[in-house]
A = this chain, B = another copy of it.
Amino acid sequence: MEMGLDLDRSSPVPLYRQLAAQMESAIRGGALTPGTELGNEARLAESLGVSRPTVRQAILALVEKGLLVRRRGIGTHVVDAPVVQPLTLTSLFDDLTAKNQLPTTRVLVQETVPAPEEVAAALGVPVEQPVIHLLRLRYTDNTPLVLMENYIPAQIVDLEGINLATTGLYQALRANGVFLKVARQRIGARAGTDEESQVLGQPPHSPMLIIERVTHDSSGRIVEYGVHLYRADRYQYAVTLVDRPS
């Protein structure tokens, strides 16, 4: 049951996070095999020299990730699974660079325009209010992956002089003090138009995965509306759902 868990109280990293990280790597690394009982918060807490709520906080984080399952009166067990990709909360951010897929970006449109009705509604701003309009095409391995159209209220950020071919949009926003926190996405599918298909290097009417997103920053403001069209043959979206009693 015990895998070399050691906590560093002098570290700036919170104890529960250290614990969660070490348990996670024990699971993903195979030291804790599926079905293993992890249990007894109380004993774990004592053996680690921390309080029970701290252990609990770490465990609950892994439950939320879908790695552990707990039942009252029974215990906590490692989920039975060929553990796949981690969850995509950071699909918010530039997770392609993290995967060494060599993304490159072509900026097709970068302009400031009065907000069309649909965009104004999504951003929660008055119609005709100036918004930045972006149309970018992203490649990985020199093959088109996604056509990205984005709108940002103009007063939120100044993108003049920013080269979006070399700087991710979210990175540029962060540099302007805008920190993305919450995104609501709708995921659907449709056939690409002739033009879209062609830009993405696909035959006409090819199936596309379409992700429409509204993003809020750390103050709760809506700061971005985007519609991203992925080549269906090159992209899938992964989610883990957990049934937390509500």
Contacts and interface: CB of A to CB of B under 8 A. Distances in A.
Interface of A: 17, 34-35, 66, 69, 71, 77-82, 84, 87-92, 124, 180-191, 205-210, 214, 216, 218-222, 230, 232-233, 235-244, 246
5 contacts: A71-B219, A78-B220, A79-B182, A184-B238, A205-B205
A181 B242 contact: yes
A27 to B, nearest CB: 11
Of A89, A207, A233, most B-chain CB atoms within 10 Å: A207
Chain copies in the assembled complex: 2
Contacts of A218: 69, 71
A238 B185 contact: yes
Contact of A232 (B71, B81, B190): B190
Contact of A220 (B69, B187, B230): B69
Given A89-B244, A188-B232, A232-B188, A77 B220 contact: yes
A236 B78 CA distance: 32
